[in-house]
Structure 1
Amino acid sequence: MTKRILLCDDELPILRAVEFKLKKVGFSVMVAQNGEAAWAVIRESLPDLIVSDYQMPILDGLGLAKRVRENPTTQHIPFILLTGKGFELDQEELRARLGITRVLSKPFSPRELVEQATEILQGAQYNSESAAKPCGETG
């Protein structure tokens, strides 16, 4: 089954470049240009991975991550946060507080994102029980 990725970014050139690369390697890609639109897609389609920009209008990436983690139906979905503020954000706190799987600083290469997405979706074996726990921790 083809893995579905939701890509959310308000910068159309980034959105299109990354969408193209992800589709090229076989992922099914859904897109949104703000967190509120992304939340609507998530509720309707339950993607296998969410990739979201940090700074966006209407609902930013952290607000979107919070909604995803607070909802029992979506809390297991891996979440990659894209940000131009990579060095300003405490990545460990984001992982602990919001369950952010990875943080990629802008500028990033679309190839790097494809590699990260592939690694997460192939190797992590996410399910509703394991995703809520830190890596290596068992129930």
Structure 2
Amino acid sequence: MATVKPRVLVVEDNRVMADVVRFNLTRADMDVKVAFNGRAALAAFNAGQFDLVITDYQMPEMSGEELCRAIRGGEHNALVPILLVSAKGYELDIQGLVEEFSLSRVLFKPFSPRDVVETARSLVEPAASPGGTE
């Protein structure tokens, strides 16, 4: 029986960073779609079904915060895990963002690709993570 790969939407305007994240998640057996700005990400999100969204905070056309607001505003989008990444850790109200958008996790740049993969796995395979439930 074939297993279904988790579908991950990566939203990152830095193409090198997007490629690094895509490469590592693909190696971890995930199906990855990349969008380079928030508007393109929202269109991709609305057109497909994703198990996880990994989004940068600061992007052109639509920020990560605006993207999270748009995603969470959808009728069936409350349960999709969102991982926010940012280089502005000291400038953001992280706790406020986590609470407002039910963020699953926040990572600060620079981050290890291993951290992204481990975090993504824990969010798309909760039963496999410590303390996870089915």
Shared fold by TM > 0.5?
yes
Q: Does 1:42 align with 2:39?
A: no
Q: Distance in 2 between matches of 1:58 and 1:27?
A: 27
Q: Compute the displacement of 1:124 (Å).
A: 6.6
- Is 1:98–2:101 an aligned residue pair? yes
Structural mapping, 1:20-35, within 5 Å: 20-35=23-38
Selected match of 1:107 from 107, 110, 117:
110
User: Match of 2:11?
Assistant: 8
Q: Which among 62, 67, 86 is matched to residue 65 of structure 2? A: 62
TM-superposed CA distance for 1:100, in Å, is 1.4
Runs of at least 4 residues off by over 3 Å? none
What's the CA shift for 1:111?
1.1
Q: Which amino acid aligns with 2:7?
A: R
Q: Where does the alignment leave 5 or more consecutive residues of structure 1 unmatched?
A: 126-139
Tell me how many residue pairs correspond in the alignment.
Answer: 125
How far does residue 90 in structure 1 lie from its aligned partner after superposition?
2.3
Cα deviation per residue 1:44-65 (whole Å; 9 max; x = unaligned)?
1121000000000000100000
- Per the TM alignment, residue 96 of structure 1 is displaced from its structure 2 partner at its CA by 1.0
Q: With structure 1 as the length reference, what TM-score do the two structures score?
A: 0.86
Question: Considering only aligned residues, what root-mean-square deviation do their CA atoms show, in Å?
Answer: 1.3
Residue 89 of structure 2 corresponds to which residue in structure 1?
A: 86
Aligned equivalents of 1:124 and 1:15: distance in 2? 27
Q: Distance in 2 between matches of 1:76 and 1:119?
A: 15
C-alpha separation in 1, matches of 2:44 and 2:79: 16
Which stretch shows the higher mean deviation, 24-33 or 70-79? 70-79
